Structure 1
C-alpha cells in the first residue's frame, strides 16, 4: 500500500476515530483513485470527474457515488490540506425514511430468533441483545462492543458510540432483567475487558451472526426485507417520538452528532399518520 494511503487510514482510525467500516471504505476509495491517476496525489477537477465517471460506469448508485466522492475529498484534504479537493458536485441522494416495525413485531422477532437456538444460554443472549437494541436504541456494533465492566447493571448504561462519543441511555427493567438472565446463564467469564455478548466459541459475538438469525426469523414471521437489527433502533426512535418524546432528548439517546439526523424520524411519524388517515378516513 502507498505510504500516503496508509497514513490516511491511520489518520482516520487514530485521529478522527472513524469506525473500522469507514476506514476500510475510505482507504479502498483512496486506492482506487491512486490506481486511476497512477499515483497517490490530489487530482485536478477534470481528473476527479473522469474518476467518478468511471466509477459510475461500473454501476454505482447515487448513494454509493456520493460516498466515494466524500472519501476522495477526505483523502485530498489529508494530502493537501483543507480546501485541496477539487470543487465537484456529487450525485443527488434522496434521503430515505427509516422503516420502523410495530412493537409487537419487534418482540415477536426477538422471540423467534431466541427460539431458533438449541443452547439455552444462546437463546437468552439473543433475546437480551435484541431487547437492548429495541429498548435502548443501540446500534448493533455498540451493543456487541460492550464489555463485562458494565456489570452489575443499573438503570442506566454508558455506551461508546461513533467517534468514541459516550452517552448514557436508560435501561428499562425488562431489558435489564433479560441481560441479567443471559449473564447468569453464559458459560464464559464476565470480566473487565472481556465481551458482554459471547459467540458460541467464546469470542466476541459477530454482527453477521445476529443478522443471519434475524433474516431467518423475519422470513418465518413474514416481515419485510428491511427488518434488520438496525430497524430495531429505528423502531425505538420512532415509537418514542410518536409518544411525544422531545427531539433534542431523542438526539441524546441516539447519540446523533447533528439534530438533522434525528429529524428524519419526524417524517416517519408523519408517514405513519398519513397511512392511518388513508386507511381510516371515509373520503381518503
Structure 2
C-alpha cells in the first residue's frame, strides 16, 4: 500500500527533489523515480524534480512500496554466542551488512540467518526477518535476533523502554579532560548530505553516555552506553563533541588509524529473555584489528 505525504512549501528556491529529501526519509534518486512514475504532484500537477519550489506550493508524494527483495539463504559462517527457542545472539563481523537493501541484495547477516534456521520472526518490511536492531556494516559485535512474533514484540518493547543494555568500545580522535560524560543531542538526517546523519534541532531524541578507559597520543579508548538507538548515533555524537571515531569514513578526518572503517565494537548486550523474563547478558572481545590497534597505541605510551 502506498504511503501519502502532503507538504506545504515553507522555503522557496530549492529544487523539488532537494526540498523533499530534506523533509522525508527518501533519497533524491528515489524521489526522482517516484516523480517519473507520476507519484509526485505539485499543486495537483505532475512535476519534474528540477522544478524550483515556491512558498505555498502544495506537494503530494505517494510513496509506492519497493519491489520485495528475494531473500536467499546463504551458507555464511555465523558466530552464534547464544540461542534458545526465542532469540539468537550473534557476533557480527566487521564488513557484514545486517539485512538486504538497495546496493546490498545478498551476503548479509539475514541471508546467513535464513540458512541457519527457518525460525525467524516476520518483519513488516519483509526484508529483515528477525532483526529488531542494527549495527552498521563496519561496526562489529553483538546483535539480538527474534525467532518468533512474541520475541520480536518483547525485544522491541525493551528497546523502546530503554531497559536493555548496549555497551560499545570505540577508538576516537583526541584526548579528554573529563573521565566520563553524556551527549544529549537530537539526531536526524543531515539536510546538506543525505548520506549522513547529524545533530539537528528538531531531530529525534538521542542520548549517549561515555566513559574514558585509556588515553594515548592523539587518541582515546572509550566505552559508550546507548540510551537510545538512532542511526549512526555514537559516530554522530562523538564527532559532534570533537572526538570523531578513528577510521570513520563519514564523520572522521582523513588522517586516521589504518583499518577497514570506524573502530566501533558492540561489546556487551543485555536483555530479558522474552518467555522467562530471565536477564541475559553477553560480552565479546573486539576483532583482531581492533585489539592490535589498541596494543600498538599502548606501545607508543612506553
TM-score range, shorter chain: under 0.3
Give the TM-score, by structure 1 length. Answer: 0.25
Give the TM-score, by structure 2 length. Answer: 0.24
Quick check: which one's strand share is greater? 2
> Structure with the greater relative contact order (CA < 8 A, sep ≥ 6): 1 or 2?
1
